[in-house]
Amino acid sequence: MFTNFPFFPEQASAQAAQVDGLYFFMVAVTAFFSLLIATVLVITAIYHRRRHEDEVGVQIHGSLALELLWTVIPFFITMVMFTWGAKVFFDQYRPPAGAMEITIVGKQWMWKAQHFDGMREINELHVPVGRPVKLMMGSEDVLHSFYIPAFRVKADVIPGRYNVLWFTATKPGKYHLFCAEYCGTKHSGMIGWIYAMDPTEFQTWLNGGPRSDSPAAAGEKLFNDLVCVSCHRDDAQARGPQLKGLFGHTVRLQGGATVTADESYIRESIVNPQAKIVDGFAPIMPTFQGMVTEEQVLQLIAYIRSLGALAPPPPASPAGAAPQVPGKD
Amino acid sequence: METVNYLNNGHGLKSWLLTKDHKRIALLYLVSITLFFVIGGFFAMLVRLELLTPAGDLLTAETYNKMFTMHGVVMVFFFLIPSIPAVLGNFLIPIMVGAKDLAFPRINLLSWYIYVVGGIFTLVAALSGGVDTGWTFYTPYSTAAANGHVITAALGVFITGFSSILTGLNFIVTVHRMRAPGLTWFRLPLFVWSHYATSLIMILGTPVIAITVLLVAAERGLHLGIFDPALGGDPVLFQHLFWFYSHPAVYIMILPAMGVISEIVQAFTRKNIFGYSFVAFSSLAIAIIGFLVWGHHIFVAGQSVYAGMVFSFLSFVVAIPSAIKVFNWTATIYKGSVSFDSPMLYAFGFIGLFTIGGLTGLFLAAMGLDIHVHDTYFVVAHFHYIMVGGAIMGYLGGLHYWWPKITGRLYPEGWAKFSALMIFSGFNLTFFPQFIAGYLGMPRRYHAYPPEFQVLNVASTLGASILAVGYVIPLVYFAYSMVAGEKSVNDPWGARGLEWEIPSPPPTENFTVSPVVTEGTHQYVHPSQEVGLA
């Protein structure tokens, strides 16, 4: 019955060793002090046990030196823990440039993943060993949390915004994927497997699956199907802001505030366009909330990102090639 | 002819339900929170039984989710938060400050009625189908997706909050205005100091949770967009508001228990506390800093890394005053006259379990480590060490210590020692394995789990069974003691303090002559030992 019961999780990512290092340090320090307090307490109590019924204790009122000592020493020890913990977190906060990007959408009660080349998976995620992988994660309904214990990584997946999680797998194998934020009836069924693979095997796997459009290509199709292009175009008649070279840059808003055009900003501009109006444009864009799924939003973002950092010269195609649809700006 | 005391001064249901006597109101609370403790414990047992096997086979997923939700709601809002303040605090604070009653006796009774109404709302929600949001009511699940009677349960929490606010208000005014002549702030028992700090949190924090659950009800019932992104709201805003109260609420549970332990340690070493002012001010420090640490619940929700660092820093800082208390209790034992009566066993248990609970809190305050253990059984183990290992051990210790004063009767000491040991060992067997399961990666609130976690869960369920028996034994002997226990003298422990100078049970007016205080509490001066005074 109980054939496989580990007491320590596998270490299968670059982060795991860092987190475990801090963990072992903290276990050692706290175990030492717990045992010290327990031992002193028990031995002192037994040594000074009441020997006859009307005995009283010696009245000692305190000692400033001792109070300072046991305030300052714990303070410095906890500051070591604080600094170490902050450093591990900080290293985990920003993904390295050039990480392989995968989009993740959580919904009650499954995980949907799409690789950079369009390959899709549900409740499974294949990743190569030795290469940083960055997950761009959104939710279609309620809160979820993407958690891979063997990698010691976790990030909440929140509707209405994107959270990023990244890791570098170090050991090929099959690892648990859990939803860690309670999300309703089948929360404990919102689980899956992470397959960390040798890079060449991963490439073979990636090539073997049924092909669909890459997120950016799918986004471009959507961009045309939804006729976004009729306003967001390159020429002087554009009624919406130019999207080429937009991603990652600072946008000046009406009223003078500025915002960086990241994933969350673009998402907001699609589902709630009135929230932030770009300087020099009229608030005429309708909301696309309910018209595009969370995955489609991610595809649109991938497309806008693929438009690059620099705007190419205006295309030769005549203006107004796309039909004007009333009400769709 | 029996002497007149608060228990026999007036008979019949009406004399209890319309009483303005703080001691009788304390007993009303005792009965009602015990009822909620039994209900909350029943939910916990079902949760533990389900987790005996990896497959979700005993309860359906929905029922399981309702069980842990109701367990949390009932235990936090209807047992732990009122426990020590409303029962022991209500009974003892007027006596400890040398007063006839609290400052506002009618408001005191009102707060019990408010508590009962809130409790009824919650029980109605439980009986008519339950709630499955988790006690944290996280949005947008609670407002847009959850099954069951979320609004009813939220209103129950909202209403009960007022009972907490009124109790806190009553305590603060009483401590300021009703101290006996000569009872200066630095002669107050530490139990009073810790309740003063607790009351500050109650009146400053509770309105925030009240507004927050009301907003949840408004979004769920009226579709006002506050937290749900589909309505233009922000789900993480809810987490900020919720934890702004609910983290300090942990200190509402633990500070009164610390006050109890300070009293017990002094009484059972017959020695005044080591470092009185450090113990007293550490309570205030916890109350104040405790308001500034809520962000450590949100490290992995996409909070700014710099905000996270501030919250992490302050979370480490708030651990220091707790550590100061533990060191001072330990130092108090030195050269004491230590007895091992049941209240003292609870105090030892408290110090041990609270130390583990507090130190594992540091793991969660360390941001890099929290990424891994957040929302796992590590967190479940940590907060049960604080709330059960700390708060309930403190409550039971206090109940055993003051029981002879409250009822005028003794309980069977052998059984009391036995159950204290059972509770201590059952507790550790239940919750220690959960630290290991958590670091292994077992998420909390899982109805079914992968088979490799089973051994740890079997140990947990076994421990919970021992713990349950440990809790039932005091229930039986306290009930027995109340009707047939041996009569107690005024001061059965040889302890010092105003409450031990008056009869057991006390008369309705507490003091026939208003006391005049000339020294601090727990001064055990003995001619043969005066040499040792330092």
The pLDDT-based confidence of A261 (bands split at 50, 70, 90) is confident
List all residues of chain A from 220 to 239 with a beta carbon under 8 Å from chain B: none
Instruction: Round to whole Å and give the CA distance between B407 and B438.
Output: 43
- Residues in chain A closer than 8 A to B362 (CB atoms): 26, 30, 78, 81
Chain B CB within 8 Å of residue A160 CB: yes
Select the more confidently predicted residue: B208 or A313.
Answer: B208
B54 chain-A contacts, CB cut-off 8 A: none
**Does residue A256 sit in helix, strand or coil?**
coil
Q: Does A12 touch chain B (CB under 8 A)?
A: no
Type of residue at A319 = A
More confident residue, A292 or B478: B478
In a domain, B11, yes or no: no
CA-nearest of B416, B379, B435, B408 to B490 is B408
* Confidence bin at A3 (pLDDT 50/70/90): low
Å between B34 CA and nearest CA of chain A = 29
- CATH number for the domain harbouring residue B348: 1.20.210.10
Instruction: Answer whether A156 touches B (CB < 8 Å).
Output: yes
In chain B, how many domains are there?
Answer: 1
Residue B367 lies in a domain: yes
Residue B286 lies in a domain: yes
Q: What is the pLDDT of residue A323?
A: 39
- In a domain? residue B530: no
Residue A152: closest CA among A7, A21, A12, A4: A12
Condensed to tens digits (0 to 9), the pLDDT of residues B438-485 reads 999 999 999 999 999 999 999 999 999 999 999 999 999 999 999 999
Predicted confidence at residue A319, as pLDDT, reads: 40
Nearest-CB residue to B368 (from A42, A54, A88): A88
Alpha-carbon gap: A203 to the closest alpha carbon of chain B (Å): 29
**Cβ <8 Å between B145 and A92:** no
pLDDT the model gives residue A309: 56
Distance CA B358, CA B355 (A): 5
Q: Is B168 exposed, middle or buried (0-12, 13-18, 19+ CB in 10 A)?
A: buried
Confirm whether B7 is domain-assigned. Answer: no
Residue B476 placed within a domain: yes
Helix (H, G, I), strand (E, B) or coil at B71: helix
pLDDT band at A314 (very low <50, low <70, confident <90, very high): very low
pLDDT of residue A230: 81
User: What residue in B sits closest to A2 (Cα-Cα)?
Assistant: B455
Range of the domain at B170: 22-523
Residue B534 lies in a domain: no
- Test the A interface: residue of B219, B268, B367, B521 with most A CBs within 10 Å: B367
**pLDDT value at A228 more than 90:** no
Condensed to tens digits (0 to 9), the pLDDT of residues A92-121 reads: 888 998 899 999 999 999 999 999 888 889
Show Cβ contacts of residue B339 under 8 Å, excluding neighbours closer than 6 positions: A49, A50, B268
Can you tell me the distance from the alpha carbon of A93 to that of A100, in angstroms, rounded to the nearest whole number? 16
**pLDDT reading at A27 higher than 90:** yes
Nearest by Cα to B365 from A69, A30, A156, A179: A30
Q: What is the pTM assigned to this prediction?
A: 0.91
Cβ separation A30–B229 shorter than 8 A? no
Residue B214 lies in a domain: yes
Contact A296, A221 (CB under 8 A): no
For residue A179, the chain B residues in CB contact (below 8 A) are 443
Kindly state the greatest CA–CA separation across chain A. 105
- Please give the Cα distance from A215 to B176 (Å, whole number): 67
Cβ-based contacts of A33 with chain B (< 8 Å) = 355, 359
DSSP state at residue B138: -
Contact assignment for B235 to A48 by CB distance below 8 Å: no
Across the range A157-167, mean pLDDT stands at 93
Q: Residue A313 pLDDT > 90, yes or no?
A: no
Burial class (CB in 10 A: 0-12, 13-18, 19+), A317: exposed
> Tens of pLDDT along chain B (534 residues)?
468 899 988 888 999 999 999 999 999 999 999 999 999 999 999 999 999 999 999 999 999 999 999 999 999 999 999 999 999 999 999 999 999 999 999 999 999 999 999 999 999 998 898 899 999 999 999 998 888 889 999 999 999 999 999 999 999 999 999 999 999 999 999 999 999 999 999 999 999 999 999 999 999 999 999 999 888 889 999 999 999 999 999 999 999 999 999 999 999 999 999 999 999 999 999 999 999 999 999 999 988 899 999 999 999 999 999 999 999 999 999 999 999 999 999 999 999 999 999 999 999 999 999 999 999 999 999 999 999 999 999 999 999 999 999 999 999 999 999 999 999 999 999 999 999 999 999 999 999 999 999 999 999 999 999 999 999 999 999 999 999 999 999 999 999 999 999 999 999 999 988 899 988 889 887 544 443 333
Q: Is the pLDDT of residue A322 over 50?
A: no
Q: Give how far the C-alpha of residue B465 lies from the chain's centroid of Cα atoms, to the nearest Å.
A: 22
Q: What is the Cα–Cα distance from B420 to B417, expressed in whole angstroms?
A: 5
Mutate to test the interface with B, among A33, A61, A268 (most CBs of B within 10 A): A61
Predicted ipTM beyond 0.95? no
Say which DSSP state B83 is in.
I
Burial string for A89-109 (b: 16+ CB within 10 Å, else e) reads beebbebeeebbbbbbbbbbb
User: In this complex, how many residue pairs, one in chain A and one in chain B, have their CB atoms less than 8 Å apart?
Assistant: 308
Beta A110-114 vs A120-122: how paired, if at all?
A: antiparallel
pLDDT band at A238 (very low <50, low <70, confident <90, very high): confident
What average pLDDT is seen over chain A?
A: 87
Do B500 and B490 form a contact (C-beta atoms < 8 A)?
Answer: yes
Q: Which of A317, A259, A313, A267 is nearest to A287 (CA)?
A: A267
How far is A128 from A116, CA to CA, in rounded Å?
13
Residue in B298, B356, B362, B489 to test binding to A, most A beta-carbons within 10 Å:
B362
